[in-house]
Structure 1
């Protein structure tokens, strides 16, 4: 999936998650968008890879693309680090929700992800799409509609 789809995916997922929490939705959603970009640190051409090129290159050389940073192991390590060093639960939860949305979206691609890293098994959905293709555009549109719906629900109190 492309960066814009991951951003909207993180937005939609964190807005949906906000429906079930008492966290500040602004913090939760902001962190969700950031979290949705983190797994692609392994790809130099990604939004986060271009922001941190040295780290991106190092991770890519060691692990490759869609392996360690797209795994449950990475999610677990990030979760431990966040819970140890970030005092705001909304930020921690938002980042994790965004990261999960990223993994789910990349499982929709033909190459899938190495969700069970270090095992070399690639995990993907039975029906997949090509990154940047028409189906991804439809997924982006659906996530945009969901973001508006969940955004109204999350921030509707502020609009009245």
Structure 2
């Protein structure tokens, strides 16, 4: 998936999560977008990889692409770090929701992810989308509609 699809996925997931929690929707939304980009730190050509090239190169050299940073182990590690060092739960929740949305979206690609890293199993959905193809644009459109739907729900609840 491309960066824009991950971003709209983070938006949709954050707004949906805001519907079922008492966290501040604006904070969830902003941090969900940031979180939706974090797993691709392992790819030098990604938005976050270009922003942090040294860290990206180091992580890619150690683990490769779509392995550790696309795993449950990474999510748990980040959750523990955020729990211990981030005083605002809204920020932590948004980051984790965004990261989880990224991983789920990459599970919808042919390559899948190493969800159970360090085990070498590739996990992907039975239906997949090709990055940059019509199928990804359909995913983007669906996520856009979901973002509007969940955003509208938040506005109504104010």
TM-score (norm 2): 0.98
Instruction: Name stretches of at least 5 consecutive residues in structure 1 with no aligned partner.
Output: none
1:107 — aligned with what? 107
2:24 — aligned with what? 24
Residues 1:8 and 2:27 are matched in the alignment: no
2:44 — aligned with what? 44
Residue 19 of structure 1: SS of its match in structure 2?
A: helix
Residues 1:57 and 2:57 are matched in the alignment: yes
Moved over 4 A (4+): none
1:25–1:155 Cα contact (<8 Å) kept: no
Q: Report the Cα distance in structure 2 between the residues aligned to 1:31 and 1:4, rounded to whole angstroms.
A: 15
Residue 120 of structure 2: SS of its match in structure 1?
A: coil
Deviation at 1:127, TM superposition (A): 1.4
Q: Report the Cα distance in structure 1 between the residues aligned to 2:157 and 2:76, rounded to whole angstroms.
A: 34
1:89 — aligned with what? 89
Instruction: Name stretches of at least 5 consecutive residues in structure 2 with no aligned partner.
Output: none
1:71–1:114 Cα contact (<8 Å) kept: yes
Residue 146 of structure 2: SS of its match in structure 1?
A: helix
Q: How many residues align?
A: 158
Q: Report the Cα distance in structure 2 between the residues aligned to 1:64 and 1:17, rounded to whole angstroms.
A: 30
Deviation at 1:152, TM superposition (A): 1.1
1:33 — aligned with what? 33
1:117 — aligned with what? 117
Measured against aligned partners, the alpha-carbon deviations of 1:113-134 in whole angstroms (never above 9, x if no partner) come to 0000000110001111211110
1:76 — aligned with what? 76
Q: Report the Cα distance in structure 1 between the residues aligned to 2:92 and 2:129, rounded to whole angstroms.
A: 30
